[in-house]
Amino acid sequence: MAKARSRRPAQESRLRATEEAAAAVDETDDPDETDAPDETRDVENADVGAVPDDAADADDDSEAPDDEDAGDDPDDEDADDEDADDEPATKAAQQRASRRSAARRKAARPSAAARTRRQRLAELEAVRKQEAKRRSLILLGICVICALGLLAYPVYVFAQDAVLRATPRTSLGVTTVQAGCLPIRTSPASGNQQHVPDGTIVQYDRLPPDSGPHYDHWAPFDTKFYTMADRPEVEVLVHNLEHGYILAWYDVDNMSAKDVKTLKAIASTFNSNDPDSKFIAAPWSVSTDGGSFPDGTHLALSRWTADVDTTTGTVSNQQGVQEFCGQVSGEVIEAFHVKYPALIAPEPDGG
């Protein structure tokens, strides 16, 4: 009886420790938790009420000698009983902890929908990166091509100009027959040493002009080809005629781009270091400069010729010379240059 009572406080203490450990693991109420105390109480009640006090004392007295003889240890029996009592509660706590651990792992695992959504996002991101890479490569290729083009174009132009300069003048453009030139015409010329103030608009007898009054300065010797954007005033270029230049006036409104290019190439063949290479190709616009080209022609070769007495410096027999052609021909220009050299001009020694 005394031993049974002495086991109850120890059992209750271990049960309370087990319950506190289970409560620490599980913060929420679990219906299973209420079962263990009831079972424990049933076991305790069964232990307490199984043997009456008198019968227990009698049994203890009668069994004491046997225990001593057998050498059994009452403390070992008490420990075994206590372990047996603790086992159901411990298993229940372990089961609850295991269920909570499984619930946490399940909550930590993403759902199938979440996994699918993340996979789709990852796939879309991969496609986006691949497309961005492809666009970058295309842009890089375009930049490389443009850079090569920018570098190649000046080289091409330089090489082409070099080829044209090395080509004989007579090989450029069409033949004399194909040029469709009109017969050369000459007219009395005037205006030698007749300078007018800058800004004066001279009314010439023939347009494009071949002689007449002019400004007191002239276009530089080194420039052989002009466009409408950089062409000097007409009165400046007429002064060049007085110095023995050939003026190739081209019809900028109607001449083909091919002929303009050919004329520019021919102009580049005149060496700036040769005093006899006095040649300028300049545009003429009928709409702004006036005058007209004969039907079917787009080029006018002009010269101002004269006879100069080298002893007295007297100028005589001044003439304006013009030849109109339908197309640009190196043969025609070379023949005109040979027929009317720079030396037969009112002021051949001018720049």
Query: What are the tens digits of pLDDT across the range 117-140?
Result: 888 888 888 889 999 999 999 999
Span 277-299, mean pLDDT? 96
Candidate from 77-81, 288-292, 318-322 with smallest mean pLDDT: 77-81
pLDDT at position 159: 76
Q: Which residue has the higher pLDDT, 227 or 18?
A: 227
Confidence check: pLDDT of 335 > 70:
yes
Candidate from 26-30, 103-107, 156-160 with smallest mean pLDDT: 26-30
pLDDT at position 299: 98
Confidence check: pLDDT of 284 > 70:
yes
How much of the chain, in percent, has pLDDT values that exceed 90?
Answer: 50
Q: Which residue has the higher pLDDT, 309 or 50?
A: 309
Span 43-49, mean pLDDT? 42
Q: Which two tokens stand for residue 348?
A: 């051949």
CB 215 within 8 A of CB 272: no
Candidate from 84-88, 99-103, 179-183, 318-322 with smallest mean pLDDT: 84-88
CB 328 within 8 A of CB 259: yes
Q: What is the pTM of this model?
A: 0.58
Confidence check: pLDDT of 166 > 90:
no
Q: In whole angstroms, give the CA distance from residue 99 to residue 139.
A: 59
CB 334 within 8 A of CB 179: no
Q: Which residue has the higher pLDDT, 60 or 239?
A: 239
Q: Which residue has the higher pLDDT, 26 or 156?
A: 156
Q: pLDDT tier at 269 (50, 70, 90 boundaries)? A: very high
pLDDT at position 62: 43
Q: pLDDT tier at 183 (50, 70, 90 boundaries)? A: very high
CB 343 within 8 A of CB 278: no
Q: pLDDT tier at 233 (50, 70, 90 boundaries)? A: very high
Q: pLDDT tier at 195 (50, 70, 90 boundaries)? A: very high
Average pLDDT, the chain: 81
pLDDT at position 165: 65
Q: pLDDT tier at 61 (50, 70, 90 boundaries)? A: very low
Highest-pLDDT range among 54-58, 103-107, 111-115, 339-343? 339-343
Q: pLDDT tier at 32 (50, 70, 90 boundaries)? A: very low
pLDDT at position 76: 52
